[in-house]
Structure formats: structure tokens, C-alpha cells
Amino acid sequence: MIFTVAIDGPAAAGKGTISRAVAAHFGFAHLDTGLLYRAVGAKGGDAVAAARALAPADLERGDLRSAEAGAAASRVAAIPEVRQALVDFQRDFARAEGGAVLDGRDIGTVICPEAEVKLFVTASDEVRAHRRWLELRDSGEAVGEAEVLAQLRERDRRDSERAAAPMKPAADAVLLDTSELSIDAAVAKAIGYVEMKLER
């Protein structure tokens, strides 16, 4: 069975957590596409060459979840040649036998416009900043919550205004606002929507 779930949204909205849970529930493969850009950014040097040479092992680096890697990812993601180099990797993953969940910022609009399910996961800026601040604090990074909020807003601006594949909901995406939802409630909503599509 070929069945693609595209989950897009800004940083710290919960799309990664939801994507992993949906993939585990249905036994689908999961790809956090942001890791591709984080890995390219973390490699440094020529971003286009790094994207073309990206290997699965590059996604195992321990520093890919840092704020620094996130900022580098956003910078390299604005380079059209980098995006193009990673498109085929993502599309092949998405349409492989057995079902796949991909989360990112342009899955439903650019990578997999034919995806059977498209979700756009969002939350208020303040809620997202607080979640990201907790993540960073727990990982030992000393950063203020106001600084995290400013970084998130700058990243959102860059991701939504870039010429190549800007972050936006697909026209047929279901909006899932997690601002007031627990993780379990958000996951349940996403699973319910996928089940509805699978039954069709």
C-alpha cells in the first residue's frame, strides 16, 4: 500500500511528536524532513554540495536538535538548489510501499501535493516559544524565553517569506491548532483523521 501523510507547520507546534505517534500507530515509516536541512546546515561548507552528498548516517548526529542547528537549517533551506537536491530523497521516501509520514514545512504543498492526508499543525507564538524553551532548558542550553520567542518569529518570517517553497498550509490541508490541546488529544485528532481517509 502506498499512502502518504504530510504534516506541515512551524517549529514547536507539535508536528514532530504527532508525526512519530501517527507513524507508530499505523506502522508507517517516518521522516522528519527538518533533520535533512539541519544535517546540511550542520555539515557547514558548501550547502548545495552537502545536500547532494547527504547520507542516512548524517541524520544520526547528536547536535541536530540544537538551536544553532535549527537556525542553520532555516538559512540553507532558503537556497533553491539545496531544496531541489533534497526533493527526490523525500519523494522516494513518501511513495515507498507500506505507508509514510513526513513532517516539515512544504510537504503538502511542494514535496507531496498528492498526499492522501495533509495536516497543518500550528499553535500560538507564545505557546510554541514556551515549548521550545522547555526543550532547550532540559537539554542544558541556557537561553531566555523572550529570546526563544524572537528566534521563532524570525524563523517563521524567513520560512514563510522565502521564494522557494514558502511555509503555508496546502489548500486542502486540515488545520490542527495544538495551543490548547494536550499531546494525547492532538495525536488522537490526527489519528482519527488518518483513519477516516484510510477507510475511504
- For residue 13, say whether it is annotated as part of any ligand binding site: yes
Q: Tell me: is residue 16 an annotated ligand-binding position.
A: yes
By CB neighbour count within 10 A (0-12 exposed, 13-18 middle, 19+ buried), where does 91 fall?
middle
On whether 11 is known to bind a ligand per the annotation, the reply is yes
Q: Is 168 annotated as a binding residue?
A: no
Q: Is 17 annotated as a binding residue?
A: yes
Q: Is 9 annotated as a binding residue?
A: yes
Burial of residue 119 (CB within 10 Å: 0-12, 13-18, 19+) is buried
Residue 104 annotated in ligand binding: no
Backbone CA torsion sign across 138, 30, 108, 82: positive
User: Could you identify the residue written with the cell 532558503?
Assistant: 78
Sign, CA dihedral 17-20-25-31, equals: positive
Residue 144 in marked binding region: no
By CB atoms closer than 10 A (0-12, 13-18, 19+), residue 105 is buried
Q: Is 12 annotated as a binding residue?
A: yes
Binding-site residue numbers are: 9-17
Binding-site residue numbers for ATP are: 9-17
